[in-house]
Amino acid sequence: MFSGVQHIPLVGGGLDYYADYLADPQSLFAELRDGIAWQQPLVMVYGREHLTPRLVNFVGDTGLSYQYSGVSHATAPWPNAIRALRDQLLVDTGFDFNCALLNYYRDGNDCMGYHSDDEPELGRAPCIASISLGAERDFCFKPKSGATKMQKLNLASGSLLVMLPPTQQYWQHALPVRKGVAQGRINLTFRKLV
């Protein structure tokens, strides 16, 4: 059982951070690293095709699809361990999720640029719950308005970060390159497609 939650207020939103949400993150990391059919889609950047700088997969309830890296992807069935986490998140946070985007950063060269999870199919004010496994990585936030400074959190293995509504409306987040990180990290972002 996790020890507690830290609330981080943001102007226009807020974060709940559970540093030790999972008891054995390393086993789940190994299970997912070896068991998920990871993909590396091509993405268009300034008119040129590039491989996405991380591996991904998308799981969830049957029949859903989600647009990432410019392409629509249908859900793969929930792996048992991730479905169990989805069920536990409903108990612990009160938020109900029907899919999860999985990201595998093989080392500190893999990354994700600034964006908001604000696609129309997530509804007007989505909640995003993000579980981290493996290497600790910096997670950066900046307001869309540019009004306040960038903020940084170090996401621990086994942690849960809940980005509360309406954070996606006003803030962007990113996982920058960290050249010194040799270990892999897996991130599960639970979402609700409406």
Ligand X SMILES: O=C(O)CCC(=O)C(=O)O
Residues in the site for ligand X, rule: CB under 6 A?
101, 103, 112, 117, 130, 139, 155, 173, 175, 187, 189
Q: Which is nearer to ligand X, 107 or 117 (CB)?
A: 117
Q: Which is nearer to ligand X, 31 or 119 (CB)?
A: 119
- Find the shortest distance in angstroms from Cβ 91 to ligand X: 22
- Find the shortest distance in angstroms from Cβ 179 to ligand X: 17
Per DSSP bridges, beta strands 6-10 and 42-45 are unpaired
- Find the shortest distance in angstroms from Cβ 164 to ligand X: 15
CB-nearest residue to ligand X? 187
Q: Which is nearer to ligand X, 52 or 103 (CB)?
A: 103
- Find the shortest distance in angstroms from Cβ 173 to ligand X: 5
Q: Which residues contact 136 (CB under 8 A, 6 or more apart)?
A: 154, 155, 156, 157, 181, 185
The string of DSSP letters for 73-131 reads EEPBPPPHHHHHHHHHHHHHHS---SEEEEEEE-STT--EEEE----GGG-SS--EEEE
- Find the shortest distance in angstroms from Cβ 35 to ligand X: 19
Q: Which is nearer to ligand X, 167 or 187 (CB)?
A: 187
Q: Which is nearer to ligand X, 78 or 131 (CB)?
A: 131
